[in-house]
Amino acid sequence: MLRRRFTPRAIHAGLIWGAFLAVAICWADARGQDAVIDADNVVVVLDASGSMAERMPGTYEPKMKVAKAALWEVVRQVPTSTNVGLLVFSGRGKQGDWLHPLAPVDRELFQRSLARLEPDGGTPLGRYIKTGADRLLEQRDAQRGYGTFRLIIVTDGEATDPELVSRYTPEVLSRGFTVEAIGVAMASEHALANRVHVYRRADDPGALREALTSAVAEIGTTARDTVADASEFDVIAAWPQEAAAEALAALRVSGNAPIGENPASPAVAGAASDAAWSVGGNAGSGKASGGFSVNVSFFGVVILVIVFSVVLRVLKALVRKD
C-alpha cells in the first residue's frame, strides 16, 4: 500500500514542493525584514528650557506652545514606516527625556506627551546632541547600515555647554548623519548655523511650521547615511566651511563607537564597521537592494533547514519500508 501511494514520481514532486515552500517562507521572512532594515529614522531634539516660555513674535502665545503645535501638525503626517524619536532637554511635566522612543509614530503617545510638556531649566544642548546621535548609531547597527538617519535640533538659545556642542557636532557629521537646526525667534543666528547641513530661522509661527515641515519632508531623501568614505568628500565640500573642516578632522577617528568615545584605532574601527555592515550587502547605497541572498534572516535559514530535514527523514523512512 505504501509503495503504491509513495511512487518515485510522487516523492520527487513532494521534494520539489517542499523546497519551494521553504524558499517561499524564507523570501517572505526576508521581505518582512526589509521593512525594518530599510527604515527612515529621525530624532528631533527639542528645547524645553525656560526661555521657551517667552512670547513668540507675531502671537501672544509662548514659543513652547507654538513649537508643540507645529511639531504635532508635522509629525502626525509622517509615514507609519518612518521611525521618529522625540528627545527633550530641560522642561517639566515629562517622565523622561524621550517623550517618544525612536520607533514608528504612536500618535496618541506623541500628542499626550507633548501636551504635558512645559518650559523650564537650562540649555544643555551638547549633551543631548550626543544622546540623540548615539541612539541613531544603535539604530543604524540594528538596520545593518541601511536606511536614512537624520537629527533635527529645535532650540531658541545658545547652549550652556558650548564646549560639548563644539566637540560632538563634527563627530555626528562624520558618522554620515544629516543634521539640521532650527533657531526659534533668535536675535541672531545660532552657533550651529555654520556647523550643520541646514540651518533655518523660525521667527514666527508660520516660519516654524514651514521649517519643521521642510526638515521632516526631506526624510528618506538622503542618498547615503553611512560612515563617510572618499566619495563623500565631494559632499563635504558643499557644507559650510567650518562644518566641513571639523567633520574631516573627526573623520580620522570616527567609527561606529558612541559619540565622544574614540575607538582605540581608526583602522580597527573602520574594519569593525565594515564587517558589521557587510552582512547587509552594499551598505553604502543607503537603501537595501532586496536581494534574497543577502536579506534572508537567521529565522528563515532555520526554517529552510527544518523543512529539508523533514523531507529527508520521510525519504529515508520510505526507502526502509521498500
Assigned C-alpha cell, 229:
568614505
**Which of 163, 198, 217 is the last residue in one of the domains?**
217
pLDDT more than 90, % of the chain: 53
User: Quick one: CA dihedral 98, 102, 103, 104, positive or negative?
Assistant: positive
* Mean pLDDT score, 265-294: 39
**Which of 217, 245, 274 is the last residue in one of the domains?**
217
Query: How many domains are there within the chain?
Result: 2
Assigned C-alpha cell, 119:
518650559
Is 46 in the same domain as 172? yes
Beta bridge partners of 196: none
Query: Could you give the CA distance from residue 213 to residue 318 in angstroms, rounded to a whole number?
Result: 66
Does the residue 125 lie in any domain? yes
* Mean pLDDT score, 180-206: 96
Cβ(256)–Cβ(276) under 8 Å?
yes
Neighbours of 28 (CB within 10 A): 11
Residue 108 burial (CB < 10 Å; 0-12/13-18/19+)? exposed
Does the residue 127 lie in any domain? yes
DSSP secondary structure letters along 232-301 = GHHHHTTS-HHHHHHHHHHHTT-SSSPTT---S-HHHHHHHHHHHHHTTS-GGGSS----HHHH--HHHH
Residue 72 burial (CB < 10 Å; 0-12/13-18/19+)? middle
Is 8 in the same domain as 81? no
Instruction: Examine the pLDDT at 185 and tell me if it is beyond 90.
Output: yes
Does the residue 13 lie in any domain? yes
Task: Render pLDDT for 134-171 as a digit per residue (tens, 0 to 9).
Answer: 999 999 999 999 999 999 999 999 999 999 999 999 99
Does the residue 85 lie in any domain? yes
Furthest C-alpha separation in the chain:
91
DSSP secondary structure letters along 142-186 = HTTT-SEEEEEEEESS--S-HHHHHHHHHHHHHTT-EEEEEEES-
Is 18 in the same domain as 68? no
Does the residue 224 lie in any domain? no
Is 166 in the same domain as 60? yes
Rg of the chain taking only CA atoms, in angstroms: 25
Is 89 in the same domain as 44? yes
Mapped onto helix, strand or coil, the DSSP state of residue 97 is coil
Is 80 in the same domain as 209? yes
Assigned C-alpha cell, 105:
509614530
Residue 101 burial (CB < 10 Å; 0-12/13-18/19+)? middle
**Which of 198, 217, 236 is the last residue in one of the domains?**
217
Query: Could you give the CA distance from residue 203 to residue 193 in angstroms, rounded to a whole number?
Result: 15
Tell which wins on pLDDT, 81 or 253: 81
Residue 54's CATH number: 3.40.50.410
Is 11 in the same domain as 78? no
Instruction: Examine the pLDDT at 288 and tell me if it is beyond 60.
Output: no
Residues of the domain holding 24: 2-33+292-321
Neighbour order of strands in the sheet with 83-89 = 98-104, 83-89, 40-47, 148-155, 178-184, 198-202
Q: Calculate ∠ Cα 256-163-168, nearest 5°.
A: 15
Is 109 in the same domain as 165? yes
Does the residue 11 lie in any domain? yes
Is 166 in the same domain as 74? yes
Task: Render pLDDT for 82-93 as a digit per residue (tens, 0 to 9).
Answer: 999 999 999 999
Model pLDDT, residue 294:
40
Does the residue 205 lie in any domain? yes
Query: Could you give the CA distance from residue 162 to residue 173 in angstroms, rounded to a whole number?
Result: 17
Four-point Cα dihedral 104, 106, 107, 108, nearest 10: 180
Q: How confident is the model at residue 220 (pLDDT cuts 50, 70, 90)?
A: low
Is 210 in the same domain as 71? yes
Is 8 in the same domain as 153? no
Is 49 in the same domain as 27? no
Does the residue 212 lie in any domain? yes
Q: How confident is the model at residue 101 (pLDDT cuts 50, 70, 90)?
A: very high
